Chain A
């Protein structure tokens, strides 16, 4: 069975500082990996996704993520955060081999301080 661990429940960074959100997955084959962002009371917006090829993936809003198979990780990064980045971030893994569901982590809440 697939699973996702987001070890950081809450992260606080200063505006303009760099950001890294951690994600570790468990899956027996090559996973499909996603990062979503959720603002309070809203649905989820896809930031980026990885399926194959280049292990460094670029997404929207200046985010990027790096797939590291040896570490079973897919960490999200941004070089300089903006106050509007404050939200909940979810990492998800999918198999898409006759099983179309995504398995989400418990999320990391990001707070930005001026």
Chain B
């Protein structure tokens, strides 16, 4: 069990550029979640997958955001035309199933838009 891995750890980008983050969940976990955490706040739910199916998306996930989980393994979160308000920590978590398991979080990707 190598835990949830997120890459890159840090990303600095210019406003208007596109960025993509990757999350590798714990291998036997079929559920994968993306959260966003801004400074001084708790994580906010963005979206989640069960295997390759994206089952829920938050209203926070504007049209500039897209997430995929091809083949139900790793996931990517892409932000197009980044804005300064996108600066945040993007956290990925996985769990072995619905119900009372709790998540295992990755260390996150810190995005800074300049």
Contacts and interface: CB of A to CB of B under 8 A. Distances in A.
B40 interface: yes
B45 interface: yes
Contacts of A43: 4, 6, 91, 105-108
Contact of B41 (A36, A45, A92, A106): A106
Interface residues of B, number: 27
Contacts, number: 60
A105 to B, nearest CB: 5
Given A43-B91, A96-B99, 14 more contacts: A34-B102, A43-B106, A43-B108, A44-B103, A45-B105, A46-B102, A96-B100, A100-B55, A101-B33, A101-B56, A101-B58, A102-B43, A102-B103, A106-B41
Interface of B: 4, 6, 31, 33, 40-45, 48, 55-56, 58, 91, 93, 98-100, 102-108, 110
Interface of A: 4, 32, 34, 36, 41-46, 49, 51, 90, 92, 96, 99-107
